[in-house]
């Protein structure tokens, strides 16, 4: 028989050994390859139940009072001597959010940096409690089913061009509290010598989920206020400057 504390220790070990895989599969692979994650609770035989009645009562009571995340499945055993008994059968976690929250590891992924380009994502160094999701482009729809993202602080960093802001707007459909970094007017004009031309601008004329400042920059780029189809690619920004800004966010 496995008590709640026994299952918690099993989940902790799985998290320690597989947390990178949990994250990677959640973002880019078929979720069914890992989830749901099931733990069977060790239903005793009738013989064992008779011999360990106090232990079985304690086991059933522990699961009746359990209030963790996940889905607790009960079943019935029709025993000759003990009659019909409702017993806990298994605990199911349908996603990483439930599992990491129950074992107190939710803070392990408390900051999520979503960066537009692969090169930028690969340049990230280790940051405690942080995850980098990179190179999704307009494919930010895959973020929606990742439940733990909705409890994390998420920061988007994309190119300062019309497509960068269009992707940001799309991502906020799924992550309304999504912040940005290095996509402001100060960053744009501090790197004026690195501007290039955006070949094909976004076809969107209105991005309702942008902040007022972001909307102003988007429209200025769209209307060629600062030059013809201005674009600042994120990988052109000096990495020391970018890394300092990223670390400042992570410390807040």
- What pLDDT is recorded for position 26? 53
Q: Are residues 65 and 168 in the same domain?
A: no
Separation of alpha carbons 75 and 43, rounded Å: 10
Q: Supply φ then ψ for residue 79, to 5 degrees.
A: -105, 140
Whether residue 46 is found in the same domain as residue 79: yes
**CB within 8 A of 26, min separation 6: which ones?**
34, 95, 96, 146, 148
Q: How far is CA 55 from CA 2, 6, 46, 62, 171, in A?
A: 11, 15, 13, 10, 51
- Whether residues 158 and 186 share a domain: the answer is yes
Domain end (from 39, 72, 101):
101
Shared domain for 127 and 64, answered yes or no, is no
Statement to judge: residues 85 and 167 lie in one domain: no
> Is 111 inside any structural domain?
no
CA distances from 187 to 6, 37, 157, 241 (A): 51, 44, 12, 10
Residues 234 and 131 in one domain: yes
Are 154 and 234 found together in one domain?
yes
Can you tell me the distance from the alpha carbon of 230 to that of 221, in angstroms, rounded to the nearest whole number?
A: 6
Exposure b/e, 132-167, CB count within 10 A at least 16 = b: bbbebeeebeebeebebbeebbbbbbbbbbbbbbbb
Written as tens digits, the pLDDT of the chain (252 aa) is: 999 999 999 999 988 888 777 765 555 444 455 778 899 999 999 999 999 999 999 999 999 999 888 899 999 999 999 999 999 999 999 877 788 888 887 666 778 999 998 989 999 988 877 889 998 999 999 888 777 788 789 999 999 999 999 999 999 999 999 999 999 999 999 999 999 999 999 998 889 999 999 999 999 999 999 999 999 999 999 999 999 999 998 777
Check residue 103 and give its pLDDT: 86
Residue 109 lies inside a defined structural domain of this protein = no
Rounded to whole angstroms, the Cα distance separating 33 from 29 reads: 8
- Same domain? For 130 and 192 the reply is yes
Domain-ending residue, one of 35, 68, 101:
101
- 42 φ/ψ sector (left φ>0, alpha ψ -120 to 50, else beta): left
Nearest C-alpha neighbor of 184 from the set 204, 209, 156: 156
Residues 128 and 51 in one domain: no
- pLDDT given at position 129: 78
* Residue 83 belongs to a domain: yes
Are 168 and 221 in contact by the 8 Å Cβ rule? The answer is: no
Residues 133, 177, single domain; the answer is yes
Residues 223, 138, single domain; the answer is: yes
Let me know whether 35 and 125 are in one domain: no
Q: What are phi and psi of 243, to 5 degrees?
A: -65, -35
Residue 204 in domain: yes
Residue 149: what pLDDT?
A: 82
Range of the domain at 91: 4-101
């Amino acid at each position: 028989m496995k008590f709640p504390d026994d299952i918690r220790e099993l989940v902790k070990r799985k998290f320690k050994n597989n947390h990178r895989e949990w994250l990677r599969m959640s973002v880019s692979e078929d979720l069914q390859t890992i989830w749901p994650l099931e733990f069977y609770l060790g239903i005793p035989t009738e013989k064992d139940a008779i011999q360990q009645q106090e232990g079985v009562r304690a086991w059933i009571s522990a699961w009746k009072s359990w209030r963790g995340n996940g889905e607790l499945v009960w079943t019935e055993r029709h025993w000759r001597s003990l009659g019909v008994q409702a017993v806990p059968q298994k605990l199911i976690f349908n996603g990483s959010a439930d599992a990491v929250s129950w074992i107190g590891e939710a803070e392990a992924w408390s900051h999520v940096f979503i960066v537009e380009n692969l090169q930028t994502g690969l340049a990230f160094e280790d940051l405690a409690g942080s995850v980098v999701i990179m190179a999704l482009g307009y494919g930010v729809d895959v973020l929606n089913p990742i439940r733990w993202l909705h409890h994390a602080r998420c920061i988007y960093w994309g190119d300062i061009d019309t497509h960068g802001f269009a992707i940001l707007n799309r991502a906020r459909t799924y992550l309304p509290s999504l912040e940005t970094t290095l996509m402001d007017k100060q960053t744009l004009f501090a790197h004026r010598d690195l501007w290039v031309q955006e070949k094909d601008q976004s076809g969107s004329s209105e991005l309702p989920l942008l902040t007022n400042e972001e909307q102003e920059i988007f429209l200025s780029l769209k209307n060629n206020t600062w030059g013809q189809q201005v674009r600042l690619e994120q990988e052109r920004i000096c990495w020391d400057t970018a890394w300092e800004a990223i670390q400042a966010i992570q410390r807040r």
